[in-house]
Amino acid sequence: MLRTFPVGGVHPQENKITAVSPVQVLPVPSSVAIPLSQHIGTPAAVIVNKGDKVKTGQKIAESRGFVSSNIHSSVSGKINRIDSVIDTTGYKQTAVFIDTEGDEWMETIDRSDEIVTDIKLTSEEIIKRCLESGIVGLGGATFPSHVKLTVPAGKKCDVLIINGVECEPYLTSDHRLMLERGEEVLIGVSIIMKALKVNRAMIGIENNKKDAAGHLTKLAGAFNGISVHELKVKYPQGAEKQLIKALINREVPSGKLPLDVNCVVHNVGTAFAVYEAVQKNKPLIERVVTITGKSLSNPGNFLVRTGTPVIRLIEAAGGLPEDTGKIISGGPMMGKALSSLDVPIVKGTSGIILLPRDESVRSEIKACIRCAKCVSACPLGLEPFLLMTLSEKGLFERAEHERITDCMECGSCSFTCPAGRPLLDYIRLGKSNVIKMARERLVKQ
Amino acid sequence: MSNLINVSPSPHTYGKETTRKLMFGVVIALLPALFTSIFYFGYSAIIVTSASVISCLLFEYLIQRFIFKKPISITDGSALVTGLLLAFNVPSNLPVFIIIIGSFVSIAIAKMTFGGLGNNPFNPALVGRVFMLISFPVQMTSWPVPAGFGTGYTDAVTGATPLAIIKEGLKNGESISQLVTQIPTPAQMFLGDMGGSVGEVAAVALLIGFIYMLVRKIITWHIPVSVAGSLVIFTTILWLINPEKNADPLFHLLAGGVLLGAIFMATDYVTSPMNPKAMIIYGCGIGILTVVIRIWGAYPEGVSFAILIMNAFVPLMNAYLKPKRFGEEVKNG
């Protein structure tokens, strides 16, 4: 029996159309818009001015505070303006607009193809390098990596978990990365192990990616303490808490972090970015993005510079299909629907999915028949039907008591509801109200 | 318009299941039992079933059209399921007018009064059935003996159900070993060759439906297994204490409506609990109450009452029996 998390979960149609498409390099776009907030935490502070010339890999915005991240230019050229841009969330934020001139890289960056295996940096230097290079979690949450590499006093970490699950349908960027850059990923894992001072790392991969798991298992023989584990295909296994439960059977308590059960989770994409930062001195300025959809003529995986408008990627994949009804950044379960084609690709963009019109409209909302399918689907043991009703009726105290803030918004409940009820929409509403209430309580005290 | 794109919160993909598909799944699961009842009780089973289904659909339509004045949703299959289950719970020679009254009680009183699908606290088919049982006790307890397809609607030979035979016999001071010759063998009961309601007789057909619903993930095992399990355990204890006064567990499981009730009536989505822990307690409650009514109650059969009684506890169970939350902190001390 393959391992998986025990409670809840769903199995959406996988649709991994691009699993066999090797990563291609997307040509450098003629202009980019690089947002100052591509991570969770405080937005970076811009350190360049309009008209400045920048090189590829040059720092253009500096992290402010502990939970923040540096931003680097992904192209070489002239700063056109510093202006607002609509990002993946649909809100406006400040971005640095750069007109590309050639592709001149910073001299400090090692651009050779040679794989550097020797890890020369010390633990502290690794953490500093990750901060300097603007490394953030590439699984989607974009949490600044240097924070997760620093084990606070009083906590300990005995195992590093590497997330190669990629449980969202359609997405294949991590899959291709593991297959094509397996060795670099494993060196990245070793670097993270050194930073955390742990001697054991477990890589979890769902068994719809047998080739990637096999490849990494073969390579892992040459590395100390790294093991690869195949997992049963089940969404949301890529969620941190579910992956920890599946791999080492530890349950992260509600409201706590993986470190509270002595482990740390990083994504395979992050491990690769850490490799490039530490061994090649290359900041995070490009990533693998899956561009996919059933009607696209040329779906695939592309290495894309941050700040590239989504439309450039769609053009490379054969152009916007006539029947497009929805454009999603991220996976279809947790991704964000885009309102514009000029939205820039950022550090956290794992894929762009084009859904045909007939798949992008929700079905009619019917009466709840109390079938309890949402209860069995919830990986956190919550009762979505109840949380929806409480939120709908404005009973937020009770919703808080029913642990609405535990919800990680994986969408399994809405996915599974036979009556087409928008469970997660209402749970989000309830959650935001409960969080607001909790803040007000804190202020009063 | 054609170049507009949709923007909505996640998730952006949905499962294939719909209310209608689930309801029609239940209908498919009921078909084996329907076919066996036609085989045993002849075309009278068809008359009873059609009358029940048509009147349930009609009442739901009329109420939605003229009282609710909202979109008609009789095609969602829920009234069809109620109609079938109501017919399955009555003798095959029941006069049509009684079935129509039963359908009215099921749909109009037990379901629509509370706001329609999803809001009724009690299983509509069982409310209708119990109403008929109390109002028309003679017609509701004269059971045609299986006589094959050619049997007429009114001229069927009637007889007592195995449960009634045991109940009466024990009351008259006979012992189980004396009564055993008058009841069908376990094999006959398993195949449905005994007196009883339209859809309850053939255990084998009901079990096929159960397996179908499990495979299709329409229901989970929790309720049917806990009903049957608790009934078997309880009757085994009584049987071991005094085998001359108490029938064996296999008899209790196969005779009467336990399987129909456990598989199709107790698992009704709307009126059953919504998490595994509560489902098991609810199922055990039904199993135990059924035995209590059968052995110490006035009626020979108690599944309907047991389910209705446990229905009443469902809101309480949903409120106090919670699923195990992920990462729930165990309180010390």
Q: Is the pLDDT of residue A3 over 60?
A: yes
Q: Can you tell me the distance from the alpha carbon of B50 to that of A146, in angstroms, rounded to the nearest whole number?
A: 70
CA distance A252 to chain B (A): 5
Q: Can you tell me the distance from the alpha carbon of A396 to that of A401, in angstroms, rounded to the nearest whole number?
A: 9
Q: Which of B269, B324, B327 sits opposite A253 (nearest CB)?
A: B327
**A134: phi then psi, degrees, rounded to nearest 5:** 70, 35
Query: If you average pLDDT over residues A400-428, what whole number do you get?
Result: 95
Selection from A60, A136, A70 nearest residue A98 by Cα? A60
Instruction: Please write down the HEC assignment for all residues of chain A.
Output: CCECCCCCCECCCCCCCCCCCCEEECCCCCEEEEECCCCCCECCEECCCCCCEECECCEEEECCCCCECCEECCCCEEEEEEEEEECCCCCEEEEEEEEECCCCECCCCCCCCCCCCCCCCCHHHHHHHHHHCCCECCCCCCCEHHHHHCCCCCCCCCEEEEECCCCCCCCCHHHHHHHHCHHHHHHHHHHHHHHHCCCCEEEEEECCCHHHHHHHHHHHCCCCCEEEEEECCCECCCCHHHHHHHHHCCCCCCCCCHHHHCEEEEEHHHHHHHHHHHHHCCCCCEEEEEEECCCCCCCEEEEEECCCEHHHHHHHCCCCCCCEEEEEECCCCCCEECCCCCCECCCCCCEEEEEEHHHCCCCCCCCCCCCCHHHHHCCCCCCHHHHHHHHHCCCHHHHHHCCHHHCCCCCHHHHHCCCCCCHHHHHHHHHHHHHHHHHHHHHHC
Selection from A144, A266, A148 nearest residue A201 by Cα? A266
Q: Can you tell me the distance from the alpha carbon of A199 to that of A201, in angstroms, rounded to the nearest whole number?
A: 7
Pull the structure tokens for residue B273.
Answer: 């609990």
Instruction: Answer yes or no: are the C-beta atoms of A37 and A93 closer than 8 Å.
Output: yes
Count of pairs with CB atoms under 8 A, one residue in A, one in B: 152
Q: Can you tell me the distance from the alpha carbon of B70 to that of A206, in angstroms, rounded to the nearest whole number?
A: 47
Cβ count within 10 A of residue A338: 22
Judged by CB atoms closer than 8 Å, whether chains meet at A254 and B323 is answered as no
pLDDT in tens, A183-236: 999 999 999 999 999 999 999 999 999 999 999 999 999 999 999 999 999 999
Instruction: Answer yes or no: are the C-beta atoms of A173 and A16 closer than 8 Å.
Output: no
B contacts of A359 (beta carbons < 8 Å): 13
pLDDT in tens, A330-352: 999 999 999 999 999 999 999 99
- SS3 state of residue B86: helix
Instruction: Answer yes or no: are the C-beta atoms of A71 and A44 closer than 8 Å.
Output: yes
B contacts of A415 (beta carbons < 8 Å): 11, 13-15
A contacts of B216 (beta carbons < 8 Å): none
Q: Can you tell me the distance from the alpha carbon of A49 to that of A165, in angstroms, rounded to the nearest whole number?
A: 41
The rounded Cα A33 to chain-centroid distance in angstroms is: 20
Selection from A19, A17, A82 nearest residue A48 by Cα? A82
Q: What pLDDT was estimated at residue A131? A: 95
* Size (chain B), residues: 333
| Residues in chain B with pLDDT values less than 70 | 1-3, 147-157, 329-333
* Size (chain A), residues: 445
Q: What pLDDT was estimated at residue B329? A: 63
Pull the structure tokens for residue A176.
Answer: 């291709």
The CATH code belonging to domain A1-25+109-361 is 3.40.50.11540
Pull the structure tokens for residue B261.
Answer: 């009730």
pLDDT in tens, A224-239: 999 999 999 999 999 9
Judged by CB atoms closer than 8 Å, whether chains meet at B327 and A241 is answered as yes
DSSP B119-187: T-SS-HHHHHHHHHHHHSHHHHT-EEPP--TT--SSS--EE--HHHHHHHHHHTT--HHHHTTTSPPHH
Cβ count within 10 A of residue B229: 16
Q: Is the pLDDT of residue A410 over 80?
A: yes
Q: What pLDDT was estimated at residue B149? A: 57
pLDDT in tens, A228-274: 999 999 999 999 999 999 999 999 998 899 999 999 999 999 999 99
Judged by CB atoms closer than 8 Å, whether chains meet at B78 and A360 is answered as no
* Element (DSSP H or E) covering residue B15: none
A contacts of B17 (beta carbons < 8 Å): 373, 416, 418
> Domain limits of chain B?
19-140, 160-320
Judged by CB atoms closer than 8 Å, whether chains meet at A379 and B326 is answered as yes
* A10 beta partners: A235
Pull the structure tokens for residue A295.
Answer: 């009607």
Q: Can you tell me the distance from the alpha carbon of A159 to that of A198, in angstroms, rounded to the nearest whole number?
A: 6
B contacts of A401 (beta carbons < 8 Å): none
Judged by CB atoms closer than 8 Å, whether chains meet at B274 and A424 is answered as no
The rounded Cα B298 to chain-centroid distance in angstroms is: 20
Contacts 24+ apart (CB under 8 A), A388-393: A388/A421, A388/A422, A388/A423, A388/A426, A388/A427, A388/A430, A390/A430, A391/A426, A391/A427, A391/A429, A391/A430, A391/A433, A392/A426
A contacts of B273 (beta carbons < 8 Å): 372
CA distance B294 to chain A (A): 30
Q: Can you tell me the distance from the alpha carbon of B96 to that of B47, in angstroms, rounded to the nearest whole number?
A: 8
**Chain A nearest-CA residue for B329:** A253
Cβ neighbourhood burial of B249 (10 Å; 0-12, 13-18, 19+): buried
Query: If you average pLDDT over residues A167-172, what whole number do you get?
Result: 96
Pull the structure tokens for residue B271.
Answer: 């009126």
**A346: phi then psi, degrees, rounded to nearest 5:** -120, 180
Q: Can you tell me the distance from the alpha carbon of B85 to that of B73, in angstroms, rounded to the nearest whole number?
A: 19
Start-end of CATH 3.40.50.11540 domains in chain A: 1-25+109-361
Judged by CB atoms closer than 8 Å, whether chains meet at A332 and B78 is answered as no
Q: What pLDDT was estimated at residue B150? A: 53
* A201 beta partners: A160, A226
Selection from B315, B296, B294, B316 nearest residue B305 by Cα? B294
Q: Give the angle subtended at the CA of B106 by the CAs of B100 and B112, to the nearest 5°.
A: 120
pLDDT in tens, B230-247: 999 999 999 999 988 899
Q: Which of A4-13, A357-366, A382-391, B324-333 has the lowest mean pLDDT?
A: B324-333
Q: Can you tell me the distance from the alpha carbon of A270 to that of A162, in angstroms, rounded to the nearest whole number?
A: 9
B 240-269: CB under 8 A from A = 269
| Residues ≥6 apart with Cβ < 8 Å to A379 | A5, A7, A8, A9, A236, A239, A242, A410, A412, B326
- The interface predicted TM-score of the complex, written ipTM, equals 0.89
